[in-house]
Structure 1
């Protein structure tokens, strides 16, 4: 059975109760959802753990965290824990966030003057510091090939 995702939450819409699932996404699916794998693990009838594992090698660069969600029924309530795992050091993650935001706002349509002004501010905020930040991070991670690859991939956005 193939699982579909809701647009708003990126969580499975169609999971059978008590069925453990490990799904590795094909290229087309991972392009849409940004994640490498989805795992659903039932601990018992009232507890389930869901994990979304992000790529950590520069693919789908704008998805830079993996998520782990734990849901447990307690009486008539549901307790939840959501954890995220950073894939890169904080300074590199901030650079990736800014580059992805810059890329997003560059592609936005300027349908009136107010929107154009708003987008100009966003581009100033996210795009302007990228060049200098790239140079600093390139120097800092000079001897770390994996981080250099991530930097180059992000710089190509």
Structure 2
């Protein structure tokens, strides 16, 4: 497999829709599209980001909030997901602001693999402890 067929995806997440962008490993912008935050939307987004080549990884903003459902779906599909930290306001102001720009920025950050952290899956012992602590805090109030 040559480097030209490797791609990286970035996703800008929102409550009702997610905007996904795909770039090559050389940074070339390939395609971008918007998808609803439903099971069918997650499947369509997965198909969209995998149809352009071999997916190296996907960078998703907000893997523990608006992007949680998508992150779980992509993990279950065997796709490596990294959480992309939103750029500083000054950087965003200089570059412009739109969902497409943010999705491409997430893809570029995922490609560089810096300013990323392992995506939260919302499962396992850490999630069980978080839920237990939240219930305890709520009961104490």
TM-score by length of 1: 0.26
Determine which structure has greater relative contact order: mean sequence separation of CA pairs < 8 Å that are 6+ residues apart, divided by chain length.
2
Higher Cα radius of gyration: 1
Q: Answer 1 or 2: which has greater helix percent.
A: 2
